[in-house]
Structure 1
């Protein structure tokens, strides 16, 4: 009887050990950033540049998501979170816009507006000129795949049109980007971590109006 009990305890310990190992592996392979489908905005802070874009959790297409509405405004939501790009280099998200911003030259200061953008930030700390950002944008006038330096900070912020003028509004799109590789391509540097993730829908320069919806944001190993 004692032997049977001892065997059962060993089996239980093995089961829980395997579960913990499995759970840690899953956690290591995925880093949640924006858990909008759970109605969760914990850890996100608003940063205003010109007026305030409205950000709210809404129900869209049968799921909860983050809705951004901009009317001549430019503000974003930022979450400070350190992500090891050696372990989880892939940024995943989904999004949808209700229309494009016509008549803009996004490579100029007067046209630096985007219906939707998700970007990652490396904090320069005491040396802000060392800060770097990758902006993944839904472009209104560039072709999908185009990249350029931001009109205001061309050396510190690089723009990439993940979606472009050929993409339909009103349709959910699912994205995945290798952030580590994109930093290498656009900055020529092998960067290994980021310090924050942000979303922004802005129309302050062109004085327009647009709405976007953002799905969950997370990093993965593959």
Structure 2
């Protein structure tokens, strides 16, 4: 299977999950670190299999809320890799995921209907502990093989919130490599490029809309930009991400 298929998509938190026996219930903030420092633990850079070039992740100063603070910057030039964070969260109790992001420009070739279009100016992955016994025989076999090869418990379902191009904001569909990852287009096109944009999503409702069933526990989150298929170059910025209870 292609490295950008099932195994490539679900390896996002492989290294990060091993960092702690008890994954945290909160997402470590970038804003508490100094510009130029490494992203705070348990965030960890995760290269992707069979992808030659990696993104560059740096902490810089910006003004997402109108005041200076430390944010994450991702530079992607014909590259792909993620910054991953393990979690242990019940989405029924804390369903609201919020963040701000900014992109230099959309990826012109972005289109979740085509494998060659599986590139985005910015992505936020949410990974779930979906029961293996509910998967098809082929999906169970792929998961079992991946776990043997990589020696880790791998997530079996994921939502990918993306800044896309071909699809309008609000579109939901399967990843072109695997339907265990469902794409959710949050922003689209160049209208808001260069601006900080606030996002607030109910991940439990989005999982239900994407997969047609209740959301299992959240095991991790990851942020990325992605340009290895199209060969384009983009920069993305992320403010702190938060998982919160309903207000």
TM-score computed with the length of structure 2 as normaliser? 0.73
Pairwise mapping of residues 1-222 of structure 1 onto structure 2 (< 5 A)?
Answer: 32-39=26-33, 40-49=39-48, 50=51, 51-61=53-63, 62-123=68-129, 127=140, 128=143, 131-153=156-178, 155-165=179-189, 167-222=191-246
* Most deviating of 158-167 and 210-219: 158-167
Gaps spanning 5+ residues in structure 1: where? 1-30
Classify the secondary structure of the residue corresponding to 2:93: coil
User: 1:145-185 CA distances to partner (integer Å, 9 max, x unpaired)?
Assistant: 111110111x2000011111264101001111111111111
Preserved CA contact (<8 Å) 1:144 1:166: no
Higher strand share: 1
Classify 1:34/1:174 alpha carbon distance in 2 versus 1 (closer, same or farther; 3 Å): farther
- Tell me, in whole angstroms, the C-alpha distance in 2 between the residues paired with 1:79 and 1:65: 16
SS of residue matched to 2:100: strand
Paired residues of 1:46 and 1:76 also in contact (CA < 8 A): yes
Q: 2-side partners of 1:124 and 1:146: how far apart?
A: 23
Structure 2 unmatched ranges of 5 or more: 1-24, 34-38, 133-139, 145-154
| Structure 1 range deviating more: 46-55 or 131-140 | 46-55
Between 80-89 and 31-40, the greater mean CA deviation after superposition: 31-40
Q: Does the 8 Å CA contact 1:57/1:64 hold for their aligned counterparts?
A: yes
Which structure: greater helix fraction? 1
Q: Contact 2:164/2:185 (CA < 8 Å) preserved in 1?
A: yes
Structure with bigger gyration radius:
1
Measured in 2, the distance between the counterparts of 1:70 and 1:34 equals: 23
- 1:125, distance to aligned residue in structure 2 (A): 8.6
SS in 1 for 2:205: helix
CA deviation profile, 1:43-101 (whole Å, cap 9, x unmatched): 01222122210011100122210000001111001111111112111111110001111
- 1:187-210 per-residue CA deviation (whole Å, 9 max, x = no partner) reads 011124110001110100001100
- Structure-2 separation of matches of 1:116 and 1:189: 26
1:140, CA displacement in angstroms? 2.3
**In 1, are the aligned partners of 2:56 and 2:74 still within 8 Å (CA)?**
yes
Note the aligned Cα RMSD (angstroms): 1.8
Deviation at 1:104, TM superposition (A): 3.8
Matching residue of 1:13: none
TM-score of the pair, normalised by structure 1: 0.81
Count residues in correspondence.
Answer: 191
